[in-house]
Copies of this chain bind each other. A is one copy, B any other.
Amino acid sequence: MKAAPEREVDRSISQTVKAQLALRDQILSGSLRPGERISELQAVETTGASRTPVRMALVRLEEEGLLEGIPSGGFMVKAFSERDISDSIELRGTLEGLAARFAAERGVSARELEPLKECLAAIDELLSQVPISIEAFSSYVTLNARFHAVLTELSRSPPLIRQIDRASALPFASPSGFVMAQSALPEAQQILIIGQEHHRVVIDAIENREGARAEAIMREHARLAVRNLRLALRNRTHLDLLPALALIKTATD
């Protein structure tokens, strides 16, 4: 039996996944700044995995859109402009609009709409409090993300679901991401209530198999988020609530 292993290995999870999560954390927490080159050696030290899994993780994060390959070799943290972000939100809205249309046109049973209505009711409950507490807001973020995820699934279209997942990979484009942005505004609760109305309408449209209406409301939903993100960025208040803020380009380019 060997006296001491060279390296402590956590066998409860794949090294590749471990490295991917650790690196994503570092990027989103701002430890690695946008535009900064990621050193493999450094990543090996901070993640505890060896170079092979680290490289796999880097490739996956590049495909995810958080990293950018450097032609001469290696990877750097991707930087996003304000317009990149608003476009990403609108993009996701367009995709979710298509998902809502598919759900409406292809038909959804009452049973399948249940989880959606449960989210709706739970959010209604949360929003009835004035003003909303931090804990309630946190619950809202989770419930809202769930609503969007369930709605996406109702499209029954694996390629579309896959694409929406990809579009949501960028943290500021995800449902929880733009909710965070909305929270940066003083009028947060009012905005949340408008969003909730959108949720209500999309369910109704799907029930009545009105594809065009279902699609339109989801796109409007995203446009609301874009407008509020713009406002939030102008005001620069409570922006620390917005995840992955570090990814936004600040310098001129």
Contacts and interface: CB of A to CB of B under 8 A. Distances in A.
Interface of A: 52, 55-56, 59-60, 63-65, 83-84, 87-88, 90-91, 94-95, 98, 102, 157-160, 162-163, 166-167, 170, 173
Contacts of A65: 159, 162
A91 B98 contact: yes
A95 to B, nearest CB: 7
B52 A87 contact: no
Q: Copies of this chain, how many?
A: 2
Contact of A160 (B55, B91, B166, B170): B91
A94 B91 contact: no
Contact of A90 (B59, B84, B98, B170): B98
26 contacts: A52-B55, A56-B56, A56-B59, A59-B59, A59-B60, A59-B63, A65-B159, A65-B162, A83-B157, A84-B157, A84-B158, A84-B159, A87-B102, A87-B159, A90-B98, A91-B95, A91-B98, A91-B160, A91-B163, A94-B94, A94-B98, A159-B170, A159-B173, A163-B163, A163-B166, A166-B166
B56 A87 contact: no
Contact of A88 (B90, B159, B173): B159
Nearest to A57: B59
A159 B98 contact: no
A56 B58 CA distance: 10
A16 to B, nearest CB: 9
Given A52-B55, A87-B102, 5 more contacts: A55-B56, A56-B59, A59-B60, A59-B63, A159-B170
Contacts of A56: 55-56, 59
A79 to B, nearest CB: 11
A157 B88 CA distance: 9
B63 A160 contact: no
A67 B29 CA distance: 31
Most buried by B among A84, A157, A163: A163
Contacts of A157: 83-84, 87, 91
Contact of A63 (B60, B87, B159): B60
Contacts of A159: 65, 84, 87-88, 91, 170, 173
A83 to B, nearest CB: 7
A60 B170 CA distance: 18
